[in-house]
Amino acid sequence: MATEMKNPIYLEENCQCHPRKIVVLTLLQGRLVRTIRFENPKYLGDPINAVRIFNNKGIDEMVLLEIDGAKQSKRNVSDIIKIATEAFFPLSFGGGIQTMTDVHQVFQMGFEKVILNSALHENSLLAGQVAAEYGSQAVVAAMEVFSTLWRGKRVSYASGKQRTRHAPKDWARRCEDYGCGELIVNSIERDGCMEGYDLEILHEISQAVSIPVIPLGGAGSVEHLRAGLSAGASAVAAGSMFVLHGPRRAVLITYPEDPLEPLHK
């Protein structure tokens, strides 16, 4: 495994900085969408407009996820570059990254981290290659978690279409061993529901690995973010919470101004 390049931005357990609140925007064919339980994508608008608004919100970090990345034969580089050049905050990108050529392209577009999901299942050497060249702080593992009737929680990939027998904490350890410097844990059943994170699985995974663990899927309030930190998260991520508002789920871009209290694993 590659030697880890230490970066104080990402080692929050040893500092008094406020935990990161990460905005996650999902893209479908270049358009900003939101899903519920990974289904029925709802069109929200132009992602460039959203990024411009978030510039004025003072956000900590943003993740862009292409939810159809695996289906695209050719990435629409020009559109993604436009988004990256508009952002005045750290950016990460995931979706359809399978080779080091893809990785180089993403970093050349101005992103600071790549997010790997399917590639970790299909090409386990890729994370280590990225870490060797860019540092492990630049490679993030994304884990999809779903529930089974008899076996409890398990891991999937390809937007839930490919299911595995991996238990989440076991797969988390593999991702760390592969060279990933962070782990995003995305709950399929809570995606877009805004009813809170899966705190049980979050706590279990955070106890199993030493890299930062970031929950995604379910956050709908600042209280949910704080609950995630209390359960062991090093940072917290949300999508719908930052772009939708009210029972009618109207489009409203927002970001909590009050910083979260520093909490440690």
Positions of E strands within the chain: 21-28, 31-36, 39-45, 61-66, 91-94, 113-116, 139-147, 153-157, 162-163, 182-187, 213-216, 236-238, 244-245, 250-251
User: For 66-83, how does the pLDDT look when each residue is reduced to its tens digit (9 = 90+)?
Assistant: 987 555 545 567 788 889
User: For 10-25, how does the pLDDT look when each residue is reduced to its tens digit (9 = 90+)?
Assistant: 333 434 468 999 999 9
- Domain extents in the chain: 19-251
Q: Is the pTM of this model over 0.85?
A: yes
User: For 188-220, how does the pLDDT look when each residue is reduced to its tens digit (9 = 90+)?
Assistant: 999 999 999 999 999 999 999 999 999 999 999
Superfamily of domain 19-251: Aldolase class I (3.20.20.70)
